[in-house]
Amino acid sequence: MSRPTSRPAIIRALLKKELTAYSRDLVFLGLTLVVLIAAPFLFHALPDSVDESITLGVYPAIPEMIGDAREALAEMGATEEQLAELDDIDLAAGEEGLELIEFESEERLRGVIEGSLELWRTESGEMVYRDKEAGDKKPEDAERVEPDIGVAFPSDFIAGVAAGKDDLTVTVYSQAGIGEEIQTAMKSFVREAAYQIAGRELPVGMPDEDTIVLGDDRMGDQVTMQERMRPLLLFMVLLMETFSMASLVSTEVLQRTVTAVLVTPAKVGDFLAAKTIFGTLMSLSQALIILVFIGGVTSANWSLILAVLVMGAIMFTGIALFVGAAGKDFMGQLFYAMLFTIPLLIPAISVMFPGSAAPWVKALPSYPIIKVLVETTAYGGTWGDAWGSLAYAALWLVVLYFAGLFALKRKVETL
C-alpha cells in the first residue's frame, strides 16, 4: 500500500513542471535573456556624473562695459571712489554653479548658442571659435564650452542703469531645449546685475533659504542618470515577468492542462501555491541578478531592498494570475496585461524626476514600490523613511494577490 504524497512534494513537482514549461516558451525565455544582458549594458552606458553648473555667455565683456561707462558716469558726477568701485564688479559673485564666458561680438554669442559656431577652450585658457561648415578643424588639446544661455547687454547698460533709464533692452538667447525655469532665472539674474551695477539694493526682501526650498535640498547632491535608472531597471524587471507568468497561466487554462494536473493528488491549493512561488522566485531572481551587475546594495540598505523587491514580485505575480485567468486567448491575455502594466508604469516615470507626484499617481499600486526603490538606492533611505510606503504597498499587495488567486481559482474550478 503506497503512502499518500505530501503537499510539499506535490508543490515541488508542480514547480518542476512550471520550470519546464517556462524553458520551452522560447519567446519569453529569449525576452528574459535579452533583458538580463541589455539592462546592465544600458546602465553602464549612462552618465555617472552630474554637471550642476550653468555656463552663461555675456556680451560685451564686463571690462569693456565698465570702460565705456566711465566717461558717462564721470559726467553724471560720479566720484573717483565710485568709479573705482566699478572694477570690483563681479556678476558671478555669490552665484554658485555659474560660469561666465565673455564674447567679443553679439553675432558670435548668438552663433554659439544656436550651434552654428563651436567654442573651445585650450589648455592655456584661450577661447577658439570653430565654424564646422567653413571647414575649420577642431583645436588640439582643447575642451568644448557650451553656454546654456546667453545675455547681450546694450553698450550703455551701466550708465543707463545708473541714470535710471527704463528703456534699456537686454537680449537673452537660449537654446530650444533650455527649460523655462532656467530662462526665468537668467532674467532675474539680469535684474540683479542691474541693481548691483547701479549700487542699489533689491527692492524686495528675500526670505530665508529654508522657506524657499521645498522638500530635500539636492543642491550639490544631485543624483546621476545611472542612479536614476537603477530603481527603474529593477522595477521594469519585476513588471516584465507579468507578461511571461500570465502567458504560462493562460496557456495552461486554454489547453486545459490544469485539469490533467488536478486528476493527480494535487489540489487547487497546490496549483495556486506553485504558481505563486514560481512567479515570485522568477521575478525576484532576475531582479537580484540585475542588482548584482548594476550595484547599489550596501550593508545598510540590503534588507530594505530585498523586502521591497519581494513585495513587488508577489504583487506582480498576483496581477499575472489575474491576467492569465481573464484572457480567453493570446490577444485577450496581451490586452489585459497592457491594461494593467501601462498604468503601473506611470509612477515609475513620475518618481524618477524631481517634483511632487499628483495624488492620483500616489494612489496607484506601484507608486510605493518604486518610491522606496528610488529613496533607498539613490538617496540612502532607511527603514524609518520607508515604513509608511511599505505599509501602503502591503495593502495593495493583499488586494491584488488575493484578487489574482480568486480569479484563477474560480477559472480552474469552472473548467
Quick one: 62 and 42 in the same domain? Answer: no
Spatial separation of the C-alpha atoms in residues 364 and 346, rounded to whole Å: 9
Is the same domain home to 171 and 294? no
Does residue 1 sit within a domain?
no
Who wins on pLDDT, 244 or 157?
A: 244
Worst-scoring range by mean pLDDT, 18-22, 156-160, 285-289, 333-337?
156-160
pTM of the model: 0.68
**Whether residue 152 has pLDDT greater than 70:** yes
Residue 330 resides in a domain = yes
Per-residue pLDDT at 204: 36
Separation CA 304–CA 282 (nearest Å):
19
Q: Would the pLDDT of 94 be above 70? A: no
Q: How far is CA 105 from CA 108, 112, 117, 144, 189, in A?
A: 5, 11, 13, 19, 21
What does the pLDDT read at residue 285?
Answer: 93
Out of 151, 176, 211, a domain closes at: 211
Residues 265-290, mean pLDDT to the nearest whole number: 90
Show the beta-strand stretches assigned E in 90-169: 98-102, 118-122, 127-130, 142-145, 149-152
What band does 62 get if pLDDT is binned at 50, 70 and 90? confident
d(CA 258, CA 411): 10
120 plus 259 within the same structural domain = no
Residue 216 lies inside a defined structural domain of this protein: no
Domains contained in the chain, number: 2
Which of 211, 241, 257 is the C-terminal boundary of a domain? 211
**Structural domain ending residue among the three candidates 154, 186, 211:** 211
* Structural domain containing residue 115: 54-211
Shared domain check, 232 and 204: no
35 and 124 assigned to the same domain: no
State the chain's mean pLDDT as an integer: 78
Q: Does 131 fall in a domain?
A: yes
Q: Which among 99-103, 123-127, 342-346, 393-397 has the top mean pLDDT?
A: 393-397
User: How confident is residue 289, by pLDDT bands cut at 50, 70 and 90?
Assistant: very high
| Same structural domain, 264 and 381 | yes
> Is residue 2 included in any domain, yes or no?
no
pLDDT band of residue 60 (cuts 50, 70, 90) is confident
54 conformational bin, left if phi > 0, alpha if psi -120 to 50, beta if neither? beta
267 with 313, same domain: the answer is: yes
Same domain, 192 and 229: no
**Which of 401, 242, 260, 414 lies closest to 336, judged by CA?**
242
For residue 325, pLDDT beyond 80: yes
31 found inside a domain: yes
Q: Is residue 217 part of a domain?
A: no
Please state the φ and ψ torsions of residue 100, each to the nearest 5 degrees: -100, 130
For residues 359-369, give the mean pLDDT: 90
| Cβ atoms 333, 247 nearer than 8 A | yes
Percent over 90 (pLDDT), the chain: 15
79 shares its domain with 94: yes
**Considering the domain boundaries, does residue 218 fall inside one?**
no
Based on the domain organization, do 41 and 114 belong to the same domain?
Answer: no
Predicted local confidence at residue 51, as pLDDT: 58
Asked if 13 and 105 sit in the same domain, the reply is no
- Name which of 12-21, 44-53, 213-222, 318-327 the model is least confident about: 213-222
Dihedral sign from CA coordinates of 223, 228, 230, 231: positive
